Structure 1
Amino acid sequence: MRRLIDARRKRRWLGIARTAISAGEENALRHFDYRATNGYSYKAHGEIVTPVDNAVNEAVRKSLRRLTPGIPVCSEEGGDISEQQIAKTELAWALDPIDGTTNFAARIPLWGISLALLYHGEPVVGLISLPALRQRYHAVLGEGSFMGEHRLMASKTSKLHESLGLMCYGYLGKHIGKGVRMITRFSKRVRSERVLGAAVVEAAWVAAGRADFSILEGVHAWDVAAGALLVREAGGKALNGNGKPWKPGDEEIIFSNAKLSETVLSLYLQKT
């Protein structure tokens, strides 16, 4: 049986996450310039990466190596373990040094840093920083979600036609195709929809009640582990495409307030 993690340890890890994120924030903001587009290169499938992604990755990992040398890091830009190993590892950090790289490179301030600590694949500490917006969000399992000192609560919207939905999808053809179908399907039934291009922003805004749900295709643990905890601790749901609680390895995630969750999932699963 897995041992329980006491509250004091979780809060200590949150403090460590804050320290590590601070190193990343400083590096990212130093290179985010509204006057000039950041240079970038291409990874697989047309996905871009900037030198800042790698610099922030190294800054955060350096801090984590110093403060938690026994806990491996799984990161989009290179870490100690793969995404497939997270669920098999007692404790692991999941890091996305710049989520929303396309926005970052284009000088759009909707990007951020995501860091979560997972215990046997379950997020227990999550931190999302949106440096350009000067916002920081955090959650600890069993202790709620916060933006700074302000406690977050998911929205109470119960009717789909009154809801605001967010959409996001990855770079693979299957994820693009499904994402576009979801936009078409939901746009006819909701009050409004938005495509923001950053999972960290979408998770934070669903947790804060600014949006009612979000559907993301082609996700990885580093994209959404912190966000999943943030939404759940705000009273919302973070499910995979089969309606089960999201876990590392699931390629899609549906963030939603509790009242809309079943309706959103039902429409998501429609065949046409």
Structure 2
Amino acid sequence: MSDYGPLLPVAIEAVARAAEDMRRKPPGALTAKGDRDMASALDYEIERSVREMLRVATPDIGFLGEEDGISGSGELQWVLDPIDGTANFVRGIPLCAVSLGLLHHGEAVLGVIELPFLGNRYAAAQGDGATVDGKPIRVSQTSRLSEAIVAIGDYAVGEGAAAKNRLRLALTARLAESAQRIRMTGTAALDLAWLAEGRLDASITLSNHPWDMTAGVAIAREAGAQVVGEDGSRHAAKSSVTVGVAPTLLDSTLGLLRDVGCPT
């Protein structure tokens, strides 16, 4: 399959329904997912609703959700984060998103991200460009790290967090010396959407879960971003880290990651 555009209206409808649920329903009970990690009852409710809608609308496409895992199979797979930024959502912080992407043999080829409390919807299908609220978007033309606003992913929690955070703290320190500003929004989907729109110049997440990244990677790429994995090669679902940048910042960003010991 090479034309993914016909699937975009289906994805938009699914995300719009989920975003409306976020706007009108409370988080509900919280379920611990490990040390300092959690899911809300609404995470599960949205995921199950979207899974069922897509099963009916696209029965030949598999599904991967953050909370309940895989159902179905095939060369295409929907990938959903029902609420990206649950900690923000639970606290009433408006930086959270619904993120629905499509993988084709592990490659991000379509994405829809809605920010329910900021009022924006980002969408892209491979080869068709990226939009926000129906208007075309492009990445920034920032060419120097000293002029760049760089988003970084959350610090690690759970098993092995101390070791993982030594690398994250080293990255933060180097960016503090090099970038214009650092931002940590708490949602990778928003980071990549804002990269696509040119609000951010780079997004660096030293981890990779397909539900966090698939939609944003597809949107950022269609807006002209370079999105790579841990070794600087093209990002895929199996990549260990996610680095998205305005193209002119790729070399300097990878150089900085090498400086702190990230295996790029």
- TM-score norm. by structure 2 comes to 0.92
- Residues 14 and 125 of structure 1 are in contact (CA less than 8 Å); yes or no, is this contact kept in structure 2? yes
Q: What SS does structure 2 have at the residue aligned with 1:142?
A: coil
Match of 2:120 in 1: 135
Cα distance in 2 for residues equivalent to 1:45 and 1:238: 30
- Does residue 252 (structure 1) correspond to residue 218 (structure 2)? The answer is no
- Residues 195 and 244 of structure 2 are in contact (CA less than 8 Å); yes or no, is this contact kept in structure 1? yes
> Which of 5, 11, 15 lines up with 2:9 in the alignment?
15
The one-letter code of the counterpart of 1:71 is I
The Cα shift of 1:271 comes to: 4.0
Q: CA RMSD, aligned part only?
A: 1.8
> Which of 187, 194, 199 lines up with 1:198 in the alignment?
187
Cα distance in 2 for residues equivalent to 1:110 and 1:131: 9
The Cα shift of 1:23 comes to: 2.1
- Does residue 171 (structure 1) correspond to residue 168 (structure 2)? The answer is no
Deviations 1:185-243, CA, capped at 9 Å, x for gaps: 11111111111110011001110000100111222011001111111111111111210
- Residues 74 and 81 of structure 1 are in contact (CA less than 8 Å); yes or no, is this contact kept in structure 2? yes
Listed as ranges, the matches of 1:53-202 within 5 Å are 53-81=43-71, 89-169=74-154, 170-172=156-158, 173=161, 174-202=163-191
Match of 2:31 in 1: 41
Unaligned 5+ segments in structure 1 are none
Match of 1:5 in 2: 2
The Cα shift of 1:163 comes to: 0.8
> Which of 206, 219, 230 lines up with 2:219 in the alignment?
230
Unaligned 5+ segments in structure 2 are none
Q: What SS does structure 2 have at the residue aligned with 1:260?
A: helix
- Residues 40 and 105 of structure 1 are in contact (CA less than 8 Å); yes or no, is this contact kept in structure 2? no
The one-letter code of the counterpart of 1:62 is E
- Count of aligned positions: 257
Cα distance in 2 for residues equivalent to 1:178 and 1:53: 30
- TM-score norm. by structure 1 comes to 0.89
- Residues 108 and 237 of structure 2 are in contact (CA less than 8 Å); yes or no, is this contact kept in structure 1? no
- Residues 28 and 40 of structure 2 are in contact (CA less than 8 Å); yes or no, is this contact kept in structure 1? yes
Q: What SS does structure 1 have at the residue aligned with 2:247?
A: coil
- Residues 128 and 200 of structure 1 are in contact (CA less than 8 Å); yes or no, is this contact kept in structure 2? yes
Cα distance in 1 for residues equivalent to 2:106 and 2:181: 34
The Cα shift of 1:252 comes to: 1.0
- Does residue 29 (structure 1) correspond to residue 23 (structure 2)? The answer is yes
Q: What SS does structure 1 have at the residue aligned with 2:102?
A: strand
Cα distance in 2 for residues equivalent to 1:180 and 1:201: 22
The Cα shift of 1:249 comes to: 2.0
The Cα shift of 1:46 comes to: 2.3
Q: Give the share of equivalent positions with the same residue, in percent.
A: 32
